[in-house]
């Protein structure tokens, strides 16, 4: 650096800033960073003063820097800060602002400092319902979600679940129908000649079975007889 040897501090400072891209380091935030913060905060619960202070610090860090660098106007700064508050808080804060100034111009965004004072009044630490603030809307939302989910679950269970007896009965009926249909199919497929042979074979099997029964009965009688028995001479 040539100005290091000339002992000119201002020239050396400008040279350092030029070499290390001071403009890039200075571009800390952009307007979309502020929008992201506002959208995220608007969806969150803000039921205590600590929650609000946390949001305010983050907002001033980004929005205050943009305002100081003339990246946004004072109107946008005030409007965005109000949009970052959740809807459950808007009503209470607006009532407080109108109570403080009944002639308040509603066509213009509420001033940042006035909104801060109103929120601090609404969320004061020693209020008796501090723990219950903002709970009604949250409960209603959770109830609606639970009711919708329970209705979905019940409808799904009605579709999926069936009594076990009904399932067993249905399965049994299907098996019986299947067997009946197969038997009927076999009967239809038999030709007259095959039917005649089948009947003849069934008659022979029946005759053989009768003879076997007679032989078995005769053997049992022989086993139970003695020479002195009255039935022995008959044989």
Q: Which helix (H) or strand (E) holds 16?
A: helix 9-19
Q: What is residue 135's predicted lDDT score, i.e. its pLDDT?
A: 44
State which residues of the chain have pLDDT below 50. Answer: 1, 3, 134-142, 144-145, 148-149, 159-160, 162-163, 165-167
Q: 175-211 burial, b if ≥16 CB within 10 A, otherwise e?
A: eeeeeeeeeeeeeeeeeeeeeeeeeeeeeeeeeeeee
Q: What is residue 100's predicted lDDT score, i.e. its pLDDT?
A: 93
Q: What is residue 235's predicted lDDT score, i.e. its pLDDT?
A: 52
């Amino acid at each position: 650096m040539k100005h290091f040897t000339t002992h000119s501090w201002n020239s050396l400072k400008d040279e350092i800033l030029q070499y290390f891209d001071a403009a890039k380091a200075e571009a800390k935030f952009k307007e979309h960073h502020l929008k992201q913060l506002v959208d995220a905060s608007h969806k969150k619960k803000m039921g205590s003063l600590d929650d609000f202070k946390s949001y305010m610090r983050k907002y001033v860090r980004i929005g205050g820097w943009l305002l100081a660098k003339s990246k946004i106007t004072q109107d946008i700064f005030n409007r965005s800060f109000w949009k970052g508050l959740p809807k459950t808080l808007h009503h209470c804060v607006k009532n407080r602002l109108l109570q403080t100034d009944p002639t308040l111009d509603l066509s213009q965004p509420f001033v940042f400092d006035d909104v801060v004072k109103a929120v601090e009044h609404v969320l004061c630490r020693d209020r008796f319902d501090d723990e219950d603030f903002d709970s009604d809307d949250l409960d209603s939302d959770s109830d609606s979600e639970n009711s919708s989910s329970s209705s979905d679950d019940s409808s799904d269970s009605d579709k999926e679940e069936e009594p076990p007896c009904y399932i067993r009965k249905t399965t049994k009926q299907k098996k019986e129908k299947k067997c009946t249909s197969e038997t009927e199919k076999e009967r239809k497929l038999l030709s007259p000649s095959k039917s005649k042979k089948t009947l003849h074979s069934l008659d022979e099997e029946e005759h053989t079975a009768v003879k076997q029964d007679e032989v078995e009965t005769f053997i049992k009688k022989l086993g139970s007889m003695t020479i002195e028995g009255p039935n022995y001479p008959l044989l």
